[in-house]
């Protein structure tokens, strides 16, 4: 775990975060151009995929929080 305490590793990490921020900025700045290049069909497919991913994350969070509650209910009924 001490590997992350070196200045080079921290510098690389900060540099990579800055690079990701910059790439995200460029994509968002040129988003209107990207939408016109990709077309309406690709845009609709991307929106549906993002909605599906969001739904899967929400269901995963719901189930992971519900599972311990159900286990407690089942165990209390057995006693």
Residue 22 has which token pair?
A: 């910059």
Is pTM beyond 0.75 here? Answer: no
pLDDT along the chain (79 residues), means of 10: 72 95 94 87 93 96 89 82
Overall domain count for the chain? 2
- The Cα–Cα gap between 52 and 44 comes to 12
DSSP state of 30: T
pLDDT at 71: 86
Same domain, 67 and 55: yes
Expressed as residue numbers, the domain containing 43 is 39-79
Same domain, yes or no: 46 and 79? yes
pLDDT of residue 1: 47
31-66 as b/e: b if 16+ CB within 10 A? eeeeeeeeeeeeeeeeeeeeeeeeeeeeeeeeeeee
């Amino acid at each position: 775990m001490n590997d992350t305490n070196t200045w080079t590793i921290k510098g690389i990490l900060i540099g990579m975060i800055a690079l990701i921020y910059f790439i995200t900025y460029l994509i968002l700045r040129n988003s209107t151009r990207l939408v016109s290049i990709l077309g309406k069909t690709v845009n609709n497919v991307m929106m549906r995929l993002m909605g599906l991913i969001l739904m899967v994350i929400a269901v995963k969070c719901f189930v992971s929080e519900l599972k311990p509650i159900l286990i407690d209910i089942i165990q209390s009924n057995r006693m």
